[in-house]
Amino acid sequence: MTYKDLFLTPVYLVLIYAIAYAIRGRVTTIDTRRFFIPALSVKLLGAIAFGLVYNFYYSGGDTFNYFKQGSVIYDAFWENPLVGIKLLFANGGYDPDTWKYASKIYWYNAPREFFVIKIATFIGFFCFYTYLPISLFFALISFSGVWAMYITFLKLFPELRVKFAIACFFIPSLFFWGSGLMKDTICIGALGWLFWAFYKVFVEKKGVFLGVLMLIISSWAIMKAKPYILLAFSLPAIIWIFIENNSKIKNSTLRFFAKPFTLGAGTILGVIVLTYLSYVNPYFSVEGIAERTAINANYLYRVSVRDDGSAYNLGELDGSFQSIILLFPSAVNVTLFRPYLFEVKNILMLFSSLESTFYLFFAVFVLFRMGFLNFFKKIITNPFLQMCFLFTVIFAFSIGVSSYNFGSLVRYKIPLIPFFTCMLFVLYDYKKLLRKP
């Protein structure tokens, strides 16, 4: 960070708040208006805090690597605009014009990292390529998607506006790890828009053109940054849509007999989508996922043991799909409820552990409050809860079995936090919600 950050950050904060107050009336209702500015504020605070922690506590990190490598493209643009534009649209590979600059970009041939670099560079043209202002724009991308997610949740359970606001905006790990100059920030914003678009197109069936457009853009952004999020979300979302539409059948007898066919059709379509994804992109193949999971987990474990001691080990991974499935319960548990307090090794792990401990006690409390059988019965019979549960479990398993590092895990799991938290809030208030007309 430089003196430019100290000077420009307040200027851009004033501009952002001025625009936010100007548009608040158009994007809020009388019930959600009071949450808009506080929710925006914690995202902006999270972006600044994230940069300061990585600058002064870690003395670097991926966020500054994205920024520094993006500066190569930014400088190239001012030296030769055509070369700068070619770099912005490059997908790897070298030519005589771009070699001078591309050879300085370490992640030039790493598509997902280079995607973030290009976004940071593009934003940099609007803020003199300064780190903290770029981070504020990343926070805005995230906020827009999470706000879209929040208003979609409210369409399903409008009585829970306060609790859903907590779930979407005020969970510490969500606004800290999901607001800085990182892939995670783009992904949580894109996931919010994807959820909004699914509901808009397939449930509400209003504003279909805009919904389809956002469906395409958000899916593309997730595919470019972290494809496994789309993989984990697709099947639960498709099943949810089929069951949600089935519940709108007015004839109770017809609805009862149609439900198994609806559920089956949704599952089959979800499997077809995933099969197609594995066909067009080897990243999604079962064999590829199993092999990469083992390689990634074993590597991260070795590095974590050597460097900071924040490693965890669930068991042996040999690259087979069977070895991954055997770790299913422990992988879900480590994502949702660990690190435990006695596993804390540093100050950031302490914050993560306190949050995980809260979720452990909250989930157990809700489970006992409802009763074990009733807890799962409500999930099975409610399309929204079913979608949240399936996405939470699938996503928690996928990152828990592949991370093997608590520092990485706390960042990777932020996409599931709003869905998991909202599910728990709905179950906690289920009897009260049933009494509402």
Report pLDDT digits (tens) over 305-349: 545 557 787 876 655 667 677 788 888 999 999 889 988 888 888
Is the Cβ–Cβ distance between 391 and 233 less than 8 Å? yes
Separation in Å, CA 29 to CA 154, 193, 204, 418: 11, 19, 18, 21
- Poorest-confidence range of 22-26, 120-124, 306-310? 306-310
State the Cα–Cα distance between residues 210 and 98, nearest whole angstrom. 37
Spacing of C-alpha 405 from chain mean position: 18
Nearest to 72, CA basis, from 60, 88, 61, 59: 88
399 half-sphere exposure, CB direction, 13 A CA radius: 27
In this prediction, residue 290 carries a pLDDT of 46
Confidence of residue 252 (pLDDT cuts 50, 70, 90): low
Which residue in 280, 305, 317 sits closest to 402, CA to CA?
317
The beta strands (E) that lie in 165-311 are given as none
Following DSSP, what letter does each residue of 38-85 receive, concatenated?
HHHHHHHHHHHHHHHHHHHTSS--HHHHHHHHHHHHHHHHHH-HHHHH
The letter for the amino acid at 37 is: I
**Mean of the per-residue pLDDT values of the chain:** 84
Residue 109 C-alpha from the chain's centroid: 24
Alpha helices, DSSP H, located in 80-130: 81-88, 99-102, 111-124
Residue 263 clears pLDDT 50, i.e. is over it: yes
Question: Which residues 6+ apart lie within 8 Å of 123 measured at CB?
Answer: 134, 137, 138
Contact (CB, 8 A) for 102 and 94: yes
User: Token digits for 285?
Assistant: 């193949």
If one compares 28 and 306, the residue with the highest pLDDT of the two is 28
Region 212-238: mean pLDDT is: 90
pLDDT at position 203: 85
Gap between the terminal Cα atoms of the chain: 55
Beta-ladder partners of 10 = none
The answer to whether the pTM exceeds 0.85 is yes
265 pLDDT above the threshold of 50: yes
